[in-house]
Amino acid sequence: MSAVKGTAEQGFVVDLPTVPHQFLIEAPLVDGHRIDRHVVELAEWGARLVEKGYLLEEPEDQHPLAWQRIIDPESGSEADGMATLKLWQQTKKHISAFPGRTKKIEGRQYLSFADYLKWRGRHAKADRKSRIDRGLVVADWNEWVEQHGGEGVASLAEVEVGKLSCHLHGYRYRVCRDAAELVEAVIQRRSLLESVQVGKPDGSNDERFRRRVERWKGLALGFLPEIYALHGAIDSINNRYSDGHQILFPAVAEGFNQLLELVEKTVGIYNDALAGDIERLAKLLNETGMGRINLHSR
C-alpha cells in the first residue's frame, strides 16, 4: 500500500490454512505478488503433515503466537516431535529447489506467489487465488497518517484518523534461534499453562482458585467495556461508510468475536464461582444453626 494525493491504496493477504500457526495463516503479499519464503515453508510443512495423516488442531494456548497442536490420529495425543521435525527438514530442502522467481527484501527471501501457484512441486494444492483478501497494511497506513499531519490532524473522508497498532501489542513473546530452542520454549510454556489451569477446586487449593477467579474477574470487567465500545464503533463505521458491509478481514472479525466470547465467559466463571460460594455459605449457616441464631438475635 502507498499514499497518493491523500488516498491510501489497498494491500493484499492470502489465507494459507495449512500453516500451523494462527498468526501467520493470513500472509501479506508484498507489492501484491511476493510472499515470504518462511511462510511458504510452513504452509508446505503443514500440507505434508496432513498428507501423513496428522491433524492440525486449534491451540489450547490463547496467545496469538501459539502454534497449532499436531495430533497423531492413532493415539489422539501430540505427535512425536522427532517425526514432525524430520518432515520440517524435508520441507525446507524441497523449498530450496523452488524454480520460480525470488527476491531478497531487507534480508528476507520472498517468492513470486504466481510462480508458487504454478509450481508442480508444491504440496499445498488448494486453490489459493480464491483466498486472497484486500485491506490496509498497518505500517504503510501509519506512514500515511504521519505524512498527513499525524495523530489528531490527519483525516480521511473528513473523518479524523489515527495510527493502527498490531494486535500483538502488549503480548510478550520470545525469538528462538532454532527449532530445538523453540521446542524447549513451547514445552516450558505448556508446563506453566497447565500449572494455572482452572478446574474444579478441591479443599487444598480452594482459596487459591477463588483469588485467581477474583483477579480474572477484575481484568475482564475492566476490559469488557472497551470491547463493547470497539464493537459499537466498528458497527457504526460499517453502516456509515461501507453500507453495512464488514470492513475487517473475515479472520480478524471472527477473532474479535471470539475475544468477546472469551471475556464474557471469564465473567461467567466468576459468577458461577460466586454463586457456589453463596450456596456453600448458606448450607454452612443452616447446618450450624447460625442462620437461626442471627435471625432471632435481631
In this predicted model, what pLDDT tens digit does every residue of 23-72 receive, in sequence order?
A: 888 888 998 899 999 999 999 999 999 999 999 988 877 788 888 889 99
The answer to whether position 248 is within a domain reads yes
- 212-215, Cβ contacts within 8 angstroms, sequence gap of 24 or more: 213/269, 213/270, 213/273, 214/270
Residue 160 lies in a domain: no
Highest mean pLDDT range out of 33-42, 135-144, 253-262? 33-42
Segments forming the whole domain that contains residue 268:
198-298
Rounded Cα–Cα distance for residues 271 and 225 (Å): 17
**CA distances to 5, 6, 81, 144, 162 from 154, in Å:** 13, 10, 50, 9, 7
Same domain? 207 vs 269: yes
Residues 16 and 120 in one domain: yes
Domain count, the chain: 2
What's the farthest any 2 CA atoms get from each other in the chain? 89
Taking all residues of the chain, what is their mean pLDDT, rounded to a whole number? 78
Residue 181 shares a structural domain with residue 210: no
On whether both 238 and 173 belong to a single domain, the answer is no
128 and 271 in one domain?
A: no
Task: Report if pTM > 0.75.
Answer: no
